[in-house]
Structure formats: structure tokens, C-alpha cells
Amino acid sequence: MNVGVLVSGSGTNLQSLIDRARRGELGPARIAVVGSNVPDCAALARARAAGLPTFVVDHRDYSARAGFDRALMTGLRAHQTDLVVLAGFMRVLGEEMLGSFPGRIINIHPALLPAFAGVRAQRQAYEAGVKVSGCTVHYVDGGVDTGPIIAQAAVLVHEEDDEETLRARILAEEHRLLPAVVRAIAERRVVIEDRKVRILGLSPSGESLRSL
Ligand code: GRF
């Protein structure tokens, strides 16, 4: 299964995918291409350092989303992408992209959805004073962080936490959860019925997701 990863930022989730692919821990998934809307982001440098093909579609060059979407699709299709992984990709995708990869785009979000959708999820959670937060991998639909939830990992919020320490604890879980889900999808163990997603061969406690 060819995975196209879209990134905008530091790329630590991409790095986690790269590292696990190198160790043979992504099952039949391989990273085929990395695309970004930010020409000089650290994530792209990580992709190049790993010897992966990259492409840039700078959103500032497009006045309408459809053109931006089509350019992304061209970059992804050039590498026979089967699954699109948004790993810190900070643009909302339009109908064209969603339509051309139906049910084949996933996103990692740094909160336990449906709580704290949108930007600065960790800050939202911290400011709300929640005692538990975490991360969510979900299918992408037309809304912002509203698609069917595939898997989640929880972390405790400690009394002495600030926004940064909470962010770091969540990020460590992201680095485990995203590759585990990519592998499960590539192994065709992820089944979606309505909005309910099941991962076949997974214990109810999610232990096998953590074991990667
Ligand atoms: C992660 O927290 C991810 O959940 C969010 O953006 C951040 C990306 O971090 N969507 P990185 O670029 O993978 O380091």
C-alpha cells in the first residue's frame, strides 16, 4: 500500500512513520511520497534526508481551493498513492481531494475528539482544565476534525503541567498511534460501518495498538 504523507510543520509524526517503516514495522505500507504546502518546513527536510520523493504545493499560489486540491492530487497520484495521511497538514481539504481518495484520507489530531476540534487543540484542552486528553486518528470528511474515529490514545493531565508539557505527552502518543493505524489499514484490518470503525484483531483495551 502506497502512503502519501502531507505535512506542514516539524514533521515528528512523519519521522515516526519513517523510522517504523525502516524497522519493518509498517506492515505492507510504504511511504511513497511526502507533500507539503510549506516550502521550507522541517518535515520536508526530514523526508529528503530519508531519501523520499517530495513535492510542494504552496497554497499562496492558488486563489481557489479547487486548484490547490488538484495540484495536491497530481503530486500524490504521480506516486500511485493509495492512502493519504495528514500528519500535521494545516490546510483543510476540499471536495475534489475527498472525492478522489474516498475513505482513504486519515488525520492525526492532538485531542480526544469530538472534544477540542480545530486549531490549538492542546491549548483548548489545557485551558478547559480537563484531567484526561490524548490524540485521535480519524478519517477525513468535509468538516474540520469531524470524520469517523479510527483509534485514540489517552494521556493524564498532571497538576504541574503547562501547555507545553501536555503537548509533549500527547505527541509521544501520536508517534505510536499513527503508525499503528497506518499498519492496520495496510493490513486491511480496519472496517468502517456507518460512522463506527472497527480494527480487526485488536483487543478492546487497544493493547495491540500500543504494542507496535
Ligand atoms: C501534531 O500535534 C498533530 O496532531 C497536529 O499537528 C502536529 C504536527 O506535529 N495535527 P509534527 O509536524 O508531526 O511534529
DSSP 59-122: GGG-SSHHHHHHHHHHHHHTTT-SEEEESS--S---HHHHHHSTT-EEEEESS-TTTT-SS-HH
pLDDT of residue 212: 47
- CATH fold of 2-210 reads Rossmann fold (3.40.50)
109 is catalytic: yes
pLDDT of residue 201: 86
Average pLDDT, the chain: 95
pTM of the model: 0.95
Whether 13 is in the pocket of ligand 1, judged by its Cβ within 6 Å, is: yes
Q: Give distance in angstroms: CA of 11 to centre of ligand 1.
A: 7
pLDDT of residue 207: 58
- What are the residue ranges in the chain where pLDDT is below 50? 212
Looking at ligand 1, which residue's alpha carbon is closest to its atom 6? Answer: 88
